[in-house]
Structure 1
Amino acid sequence: MRELDAKTITENVAQMCKEAAYYLPDDVYAALKRGRETEKSPVGQNVLDQIIKNAEIAKNEDRPYCQDTGFTIVFLEVGQDLHIVGGDLEQAVNDGIAKGYTDGYLRKSVVSEPLFNRVNTGNNTPGAIYTKIVPGDKLKITVEPKGFGSENKGGIKMLVPADGVEGVKKAVMDIILHASMNPCPPTVIGIGIGGTMDKAAVMSKIALTRPVDSHNPMPEYAKLEDELLELINQTGIGPQLGGTTTCLGVNIEWGPTHIAGLPVAVTICCHACRHKTRTL
């Protein structure tokens, strides 16, 4: 049984929150550069130039890539042979979020109650923490700050099996077209297919932590990713003000579901597709 101090978790989460806010992942930056090379609209080219320059300034000056530093989503893979000592695991993560957002001068955007009072918690906690028990004695942490301009435009469609692949495509495209240019494109699209309504939504968030140029290992889903990417980029929504670079990547995660169900969840992420992973 390996022991890991809760304080170590807190310090690492704090640093990861800052790094995720400052440094756009290399794969997303490369996708933006590729989009700039193929973008046909002069206005879209100008927008992409500004987005790319912004990413470079943020990285060089350790400044937030976007003023919306997000609601902090954290995925934990906890080895079954790991023992957390010196504190509670979820509290250690939330302490790390609070420290990272305070020390990093990141905007605090979380309210303690959603409808009636909406009082800001002052430190961007609590995060949305999802924990999975896995073999081994390590702790894998993925921090995913999720901006809400794009979060507000996601959606879930509860399809039936008879809807099939074409029904899934229609469901995704209905959400994308309804969102239009509001989610600050070019976007990255995470899709969860299967499970239950809540499980599909979580899978769509996990999908956003994959590289934008990756593919689902199952060929049929990889093909669907490519087909949806092409359809989205044919909409003309483009980078903010129209063009051919609407989406940088479509990532699909899937899971077993009920014989009567075909849940489809779509999480739209703006070009600030931020995430950071460490293993302790």
Structure 2
Amino acid sequence: MKKVYYEEIVKRVKDKSIEMNINMDKELKTLLERSIKEEDSSLAKEIMKDILLNQEIAQKEGIPLCQDTGIVVAFVNIGQDLTVYGGNVTDAINEGVSRGYKEGYLRKSIVECPLRRKNTKDNTPAIIYYDIVEGEQLSITLAAKGFGSENMSAVKMLKPSEGIEGVKKFILETIKNAGGNCCPPIVVGVGIGGTFDKAAQISKKALVRDLSDKNKDPYLRELEEELIQEINRLGIGPQGFGGKTTALAVKIETHPTHIAGLPVAVNINCHASRHVKIIL
């Protein structure tokens, strides 16, 4: 049985918490560079060039891509043949986030109670989702989720009779209503099925897929491609100033659901789509 030590998890989470807030995803950079070439609007081109310049400065100076360094969301796969020594995984992740946000001088944005609003002063606790899997590997995917885009996300309980057209209508309405408030160009995560909460969870999980990843389901892959075209035809453009680059990617995840339900969640991510993976 493989052993993983508490402090090892803490250190890796600390380091990656800082890294993901400073370095732009390479695939995201590639998509932005391609979009600049394909964009017709000169203003949209300049905005995307500024986004890339911002990344260069952040990397050179070791400062965050955005002042909103987000709430940390972790998707954890724990091998059933693995043992953690010295503490539990939840505490290790939270301690790693705490150290990373303090040592990296990242903004602490988390409040203890959503009504009383007292800051926890170390950006914890993280939102953590667990899956028990075969093997002896510990995999942690961390994401820094800013709230400009999170606030524009939505969940809707559709009737099954509304079908695929109802799903598409809701997704497009959500993006249209968000406009420039979610800092486009955006990445769109869609969760379909399960329950009210499951749809929201998998919509966020969709956002940590590799941007170049193609859906394994041909039907969903075609739907992702159709939706990105429809979203970009809305004309919102980078930062809401117009253009044909509103979304850089659309990712869809599904889950079995009840015969009487069709839950749909749309989780929007701004252009600073920040996530990293840790394998132990």
Indicate the TM-score class for this superposition, using the shorter chain for normalisation.
over 0.9
User: What is the TM-score normalised by the length of structure 1?
Assistant: 0.98
The answer to whether 1:157 aligns with 2:124 is no
- Report the equivalent of 2:221: 222
Preserved contact between residue 142 and residue 278 of structure 1 (Cα < 8 Å) = yes
Preserved contact between residue 76 and residue 129 of structure 1 (Cα < 8 Å) = yes
- Opposite residue 193 of structure 1, the aligned amino acid is I
> Percent identity of the aligned residues?
48
Kindly state the Cα deviation for residue 16 of structure 1 after the two structures are TM-superposed: 0.8
Cα root mean square deviation, aligned: 0.8
- Report the equivalent of 2:245: 245
Preserved contact between residue 153 and residue 183 of structure 1 (Cα < 8 Å) = yes
- Report the equivalent of 2:72: 72
Q: Secondary structure at the match of 1:257?
A: coil
Q: Deviations over 1:52-83 (max 9, x none)?
A: 11112222332211110000001110000111
Kindly state the Cα deviation for residue 212 of structure 1 after the two structures are TM-superposed: 2.0
1 CA distance for matches of 2:61 and 2:29?
A: 16
- Report the equivalent of 2:24: 24
Q: Deviations over 1:26-75 (max 9, x none)?
A: 11111111111111111111111100111122223322111100000011
Number of equivalences: 279
Runs of 4+ in 1 over 6 A off after TM superposition: none
- Report the equivalent of 1:15: 15
Kindly state the Cα deviation for residue 105 of structure 1 after the two structures are TM-superposed: 0.6
2 CA distance for matches of 1:77 and 1:36?
A: 37
Preserved contact between residue 154 and residue 268 of structure 1 (Cα < 8 Å) = yes
- Report the equivalent of 1:181: 180
Q: Secondary structure at the match of 2:18?
A: helix
- Report the equivalent of 2:191: 192
User: What is the TM-score normalised by the length of structure 2?
Assistant: 0.98
- Opposite residue 176 of structure 1, the aligned amino acid is I
Of residues 91-100 and 160-169 in structure 1, the stretch that sits farther from structure 2 once superposed is 160-169
Of residues 214-223 and 53-62 in structure 1, the stretch that sits farther from structure 2 once superposed is 53-62
1 CA distance for matches of 2:58 and 2:24?
A: 8
1 CA distance for matches of 2:129 and 2:63?
A: 28
Preserved contact between residue 28 and residue 211 of structure 1 (Cα < 8 Å) = no
The answer to whether 1:93 aligns with 2:93 is yes
Kindly state the Cα deviation for residue 278 of structure 1 after the two structures are TM-superposed: 1.4
1 CA distance for matches of 2:59 and 2:131?
A: 31
1 CA distance for matches of 2:213 and 2:34?
A: 15
Kindly state the Cα deviation for residue 87 of structure 1 after the two structures are TM-superposed: 0.8
Show structure 2 runs of 5+ residues with no match: none
Q: Secondary structure at the match of 2:180?
A: coil
The answer to whether 1:81 aligns with 2:70 is no
Q: Secondary structure at the match of 1:100?
A: helix
Pairing 1:41-60 to 2, within 5 Å after superposition: 41-60=41-60
- Report the equivalent of 1:272: 272
Q: Secondary structure at the match of 1:90?
A: helix
Kindly state the Cα deviation for residue 259 of structure 1 after the two structures are TM-superposed: 0.9
Kindly state the Cα deviation for residue 214 of structure 1 after the two structures are TM-superposed: 2.1
